[in-house]
Amino acid sequence: MIDTSPPPFFKRGLAPTLRLAIFSGLALFLMVADGHFHYLNTLRNALAIVINPLQHAMNAPVRLSAKVGDFFVAQGRMKSENADLKEQQLMLAGKMLQYQDLQAENAHLRHLLDAKTRYAQRTTLAEILYSGRDPFSRKIIVDRGSLQGVQPGQVVADQIGVIGQVTRVSPAVSEVTLITDKDQAVPVQNVRNGLRAVVFGNGEAGTLDMPFMSFSADLQPGDQLVTSGIDGIYPPGLPVAVVSKVERNAAYLFAKVSCTPSAGPDRQRQILILSAPNPPQMEAAPQKQPAQVDHGKR
């Protein structure tokens, strides 16, 4: 018969049941000995020291993935908070601009109220709606008309000086022609020396002309020009312009004088409409009474 048993080289040693009994008894002995006499504490501590780096190495990927997740979550939260802060900043900036605009408007209105006390005429507060459509004229439209007592020819001013004159009136709005319009002329007087002249608009914003001034006229840059009042339309003493440039050439009879308006509608939206000045009343000459003849005396 053929021997099918493995050669001695491949023998597995003790039987599995016997090995289980031996290792179980050894484990039980170690547990009892460690529980009563603590023989394995030193071995346990040594193994803990050896295994600790391995535990940290095994936990490193978990901690790294958690940190990466926290990083991206924090980045998303920061982006959202940053967007909210920017939106709030824009809203606050808009409110701040509105606040500054209201503050400037209130200051301007206070100056207008002070100006109303300086003007002897009755004044009407108006607001500029828009500029005229004609690019070759200098006109504005205000929100006061005939229903508020506005009439053509009334002078328009602000807290600084003259702006223009009412030229057309509707029931609810009025058209104001600025003094810089090419069809406007304002009689003025030099505050420094009392020299009288007339300033004309040239159709350009921010400039006025004073033509037909003699070469030797006493005019200097910086001279203040106010209304003279001789036309019966503009009340006397209202600031009109400041002399900005005086060019004299011996080859010409007249000096070239340029002026800068003292006031202007491009600074504020509120203006004052002055009532027309009352023309001076002429006193009637006393009539001579006919001489009475006394018929009693001969």
Site of tokens 């209130």: 106
Shortest CA distance to 179 belongs to which of 123, 215, 231, 221?
231
According to DSSP, residue 9 is labeled G
CA distances to 62, 71, 84 from 76, rounded to whole Å, are: 21, 9, 12
End-to-end CA distance of the chain: 209
pLDDT at 63: 81
C-alpha to C-alpha distance for 164 and 183, rounded to whole angstroms = 11
pLDDT tens for the chain, 298 residues: list them: 565 665 555 555 677 788 888 888 888 877 777 677 666 677 777 777 877 787 778 878 878 888 888 888 888 888 888 888 887 777 777 667 666 656 666 665 666 566 556 566 678 888 899 888 887 889 999 999 999 999 999 999 888 889 999 999 999 999 999 999 998 999 999 999 999 999 999 888 889 999 989 888 899 999 999 999 888 888 888 899 999 999 988 888 899 999 999 988 877 788 889 886 554 444 444 454 544 544 444 3
pLDDT at 139: 92
pLDDT at 280: 43
The burial class, CB within 10 Å (0-12 / 13-18 / 19+), for 131 is middle
pLDDT at 197: 94
CA distances to 8, 10, 80, 192, 223 from 5, rounded to whole Å, are: 9, 10, 77, 140, 135
